[in-house]
Amino acid sequence: MSKNKKELIKICISLTLLIVAVLIKSLDQYVSLGIYILSYIIVGKNVVIKAVKNILNKQWLDENFLMTISTIGAFCIGEYPEAVAVMIFYQVGELFQNYAVNKSRKSIKSLMDIRPDYANVIRNGKIESVDPDDVKIDEIIEIKSGEKVPLDGIIVEGNSMLDTSSLTGESVPRRVDIGDEILSGCVNISGLLKVKVTKVYEESTVNKILELIENATTKKSKSENFISRFAKYYTPIVVILAIALAILPPIILQASFSMWLARALTFLVISCPCALVISVPLSFFGGIGGAAKQGILVKGSNFLEMFSKVDTIVMDKTGTITKGVFKVQKICPNNIDKAELLKLTAYAEYNSNHPIAVSLKSEYKEVLDTSKIQDIQELTGLGVKARVYGKQVLVGNLKLMKKHNIKYEEAKDIGTVVYVAIDNEYAGYIVISDEIKEDSKASIEAMKRMGIEKTIMLTGDKREVAEVVSKNVGIDEVYSELLPTDKFHKLEDILKLETGSKKVAFVGDGINDAPSLARSDIGIAMGGIGSDAAIEAADIVIMTDEISKIPTAINISKKTIKIVKQNIVFAIGVKVLVLILGALGISSMWEAVFADVGVSVIAIINAMRAMRYNKSLHIV
């Protein structure tokens, strides 16, 4: 039986006994008192025990102490039903709190399920089931259908569909084949895979994510630190005020001691800072859990709070705004068929693994007949030279055309231009460029609707390419042809322009972005293809390559902070009002119950909203 169910049973039994004692007037007063005491012990025993333990540990000024002293005091002045009712409703509030925390935790715990239990490693022709920590780099592991991928690696045999939802938050499975890299933490849906391990478990994706999750709740926000400081000074002050309320009026005003003692006890019940102490951390916990559901890992509530203040977002181009994958955009033949030009070019690039060569071969799509290729020569800084189907083919840049005295037509297109000559005659050119992500433009528009005042792109690419990309997606400012050190210094210049509480976020994915991610107020790593260094340096990790996750994170952070502020204002406002009424004798123990438990429950329910997120709020 779960802890929450046990507590619910205790509350029900205690409430039943309380109703019996209140409604049956014919009961002997000692029997009635015995029922009240039994009811109190059933529901309040744990609170009293905690209070005693905290007193022995010299940490007595907390809500357990306040609840114990006020309810026992109520017994002393004959307020038996009120004493039991206060403790019952306090435990109801605790039940709501536990439910909310558990629900929020499930969002994060779903990520914890990615931890692998074992790895099937092939050694000496046999399969051994071992701890993932015991597997070395370059060893071959076997992953059956339905098993978790225990370590990062490259597929050497088999193909399958992978469930990446635990890492990315995306429900659509991804197809993988021989040569594809797969990350630990995914689930193999179909087919048998053999994978060559590329990272030990300690350096694997799954272990790094688990470390981020486990450390996320240790970094407190300013709001949480404020609540901790507030509770530290608030509790002793209200205890002193309660003592003064019980002693001074009877002495000064010659009033009834029992009346002012009752008011002091009511004052103590009201003063419990449960709503603040519980709801503020719970709001941040819910926000972090809600972000995790969307494939966004926030390393601490301080970063979630800080992100809500960002007004400038600086972005790397390749891998963030663009896909980081070269693709043929245009084929311009000269006295040759377009398909034939692509075919001869792809054949000439057969031996090359350069991204441009890969994109040309990928565009051709057909299987290359290697018997038709001879004399391939890599010409450093120029291109390649090969004999294909008996024809001499030159593929490369303008320098290659000039070196062989080829009369060419210079292309005016934006992107990387590959010139082709066949048997020393100019045959045309092919334009290759990095593709803009489908969601880049809509995401940047969404950021601006959410209050981002300026978007800036930093890139090492050519000015012409950078300007075309920035214009297409709606970037406000662009700085191009930057070395990694230039990016860092440009970011520092941008940071110097920010004043007050405004913050600058930097978004990147490569190892060269790590210094900028660490230097910015908030570093955001695109974790799907991001380097380990970038993920390590970032404060927020996007587990997919979707830039649309950035407005999602902004929305979650702003919503969480709004909920936190609502809870702080509501809790303090109601507390102060009812404290004054309690001191004046206007509010009774029942109003005290509402001020303590009622406010806590309302604040907790409000905090739970941080866990929910509507995707339709930002992308239109």
Residues acting as catalytic residues: 316
CA-to-CA separations, 201 to 141, 225, 360, 457, in angstroms, rounded: 13, 35, 36, 35
Q: Residue 97 phi/psi, 5° resolution?
A: -60, -50
Number of CB atoms found within 10 A of residue 536's CB: 17
Strand order in the sheet with 119-123: 126-130, 119-123, 140-143, 193-197, 153-157, 181-182
Which residue type sits at 464? Answer: E
Strand order in the sheet with 373-379: 322-333, 425-436, 416-422, 391-396, 383-388, 373-379
Residue 440: both structure tokens together: 């880049």
8 A C-beta contact, residue 555 and residue 452 = no
Task: Tell me which residue of 153, 176, 177 sits closest to 163, measured CA to CA.
Answer: 176
Coil, helix or strand at residue 26:
coil
Calpha distance 159→190 (Å, rounded): 8
Name residue, tokens 């990694």: 484
Strands 373-379 and 540-542: unpaired
Q: C-alpha angle 440/444/447, rounded to 5°?
A: 140
Q: What is the DSSP letter of 136?
A: P
Which residue type sits at 214? Answer: E
- Helix axes 549-583 and 222-253, enclosed angle (nearest 10): 0
Give the up-direction half-sphere exposure of residue 116: CA atoms within 13 A in the CB hemisphere.
31
Calpha distance 151→162 (Å, rounded): 14
Calpha distance 602→608 (Å, rounded): 10
Calpha distance 339→503 (Å, rounded): 51
Calpha distance 287→293 (Å, rounded): 10
- Identify the helix (H) or strand (E) that includes residue 417: strand 416-422
Calpha distance 258→262 (Å, rounded): 6
String of DSSP letters for 433-476: EEEEPTTHHHHHHHHHHTT--EEEEE-SS-HHHHHHHHHHHT-S
Task: Tell me which residue of 115, 310, 305 sits closest to 205, measured CA to CA.
Answer: 115
Give the up-direction half-sphere exposure of residue 464: CA atoms within 13 A in the CB hemisphere.
6
Residue 82: both structure tokens together: 């009120």
